[in-house]
Amino acid sequence: MRPHPVLVVGELIGVGVSSEILQLGLIFLAAAGAGWLARKLTLPAVLGFLAVGVVVSPFTPGYVAPREHVELLAEFGVVLLLFEVGIEINLHSIGREQRALLLAVPAQVALTTLLTGGLFVAFGMVLTTALVLGLAVALSSSVVVVNIVRSRRRRTDRATESAMLTWSVLQDICGVLLAALLLSVAGVSDRGPALAIAGLVGFLVVSAAAAWLLPRALRHLGSEPDLFLLVSIGVGLGLAGLGAVVFGVPAALAAFIAGLAVAESPESVTARRQLVPFRDVFAVLFFVSVGTLINPQAVLAGLPWLALVLVALVVTKVGVAALAARYAGVSRPLQLAVGIGQVGELSFVLASLLVTAGLLSGEIYAAMLSAVVISIAVSTVVVRLHWTRSPAPAVL
């Protein structure tokens, strides 16, 4: 006789699920403790989150976290994180206040992608895969940049902070557009470049329609903050899933586009204010998950690739960004370049898509993950040094 479904569900909730919830709760507490310790050592809390992920990963001795649940929560976290980042963007403000960056940032992303891709090709990597990885190096972590400009130990001036935030935002926009094309050319998607572009355009149309409808729905929920938040999150997840399933746009990239579209409505201010407290939770999920993927043995095997990625970060990203920022009239171009001199959320998404498609070896993937840790640590510490205002040429 088959057990009653209610009894089965009750058993799962009482034993299996409760145990896993306990484990995830302990992981959050460990992340909090590691983040606090990292800040006491004048390091970013993100490094503590990554360390917890390494400790509970299947590649290190001792306790192993329920990986499938951590990965699911991390995927959920990165989608909402990028949706929230998209909502924070005000394109009109960028166009009015920092017009010079509208040329400088795309130039940096394009040059870094091409130069880094060429460097990887010189060391035997397939061109299309190399270009996707080059784009991953060209992009920065929005979460880390926000933490840099809000840190109590920061030594940035307001002009540099504003330019750094705008730079990171424009990188994400350029990255999403380029990624949609490069991933198709690289063979990550089963759609050809023309179909991939058509899918992206179709998703942009759907996002624009959602951006028109959502404010009208949210306007009626102004006095119901809990429902306002649920609808905002539901729209973000729904559009991300729709972009992935119907239009062939990776969920994380689709979430960013959806957030960008929604950001143009007045109601986005309220949505942003309600989502901001969750940013740190999303970030913890994301960085702990990245830590669980770091395989020390694969890192050792991929040390030459790690060295190559770090050289690319310094030469083709920080160097190019410093030159572009100087010609854009940024007051401290080198400090800005150091502040964005790490790889982050979208970079991880791109590398993971290559691995899933079988286009990237475990050693190179481990090198990219290690580059996340090293670049975040170095950029967040070095950016705190004393910087002087650099004379800049005329604004572009």
- Residue pLDDT, tens place only, 114-138: 999 999 999 999 999 999 999 999 9
Can you give the pTM of this predicted structure? 0.81
State the chain's mean pLDDT as an integer: 79
Residue 146 lies in a domain: yes
pLDDT, residue 6, reads: 45
**Phi-psi category of residue 66: left, alpha or beta, with phi > 0 → left and psi -120 to 50 → alpha:** beta
Single-letter amino acid code for the residue at 97? E
Residue 6 lies in a domain: no
Residue 144 lies in a domain: yes
pLDDT, residue 110, reads: 95
Among 202-206, 249-253, 334-338, name the one with the lowest average pLDDT: 249-253
Residue 297 lies in a domain: yes
pLDDT, residue 261, reads: 67
Domain that holds residue 274: 72-382
State pLDDT tens for residues 85-94.
777 666 666 6
Q: Is pLDDT at 305 greater than 90 in this prediction?
A: yes
3-state secondary structure of 138: helix
Q: Is pLDDT at 14 greater than 70 in this prediction?
A: no
Residue 308 lies in a domain: yes
Question: Are the beta carbons of 278 and 80 closer than 8 angstroms?
Answer: yes
pLDDT, residue 390, reads: 56
Residue 174 lies in a domain: yes
State pLDDT tens for residues 169-224.
888 888 888 887 888 777 776 666 777 778 778 888 887 787 777 777 767 766 67
Torsion angle, alpha carbons of 192, 195, 200, 206, to 10: -150
From residue 15, alpha-carbon distances to 8, 26, 71, 329, 370 in Å are 11, 17, 21, 60, 36
Number of domains in the chain: 1
Cα separation, 210 vs 331, in Å, equals: 39
Residue 236 lies in a domain: yes
CATH at 244: 1.20.1530.20
Residue 42 lies in a domain: no
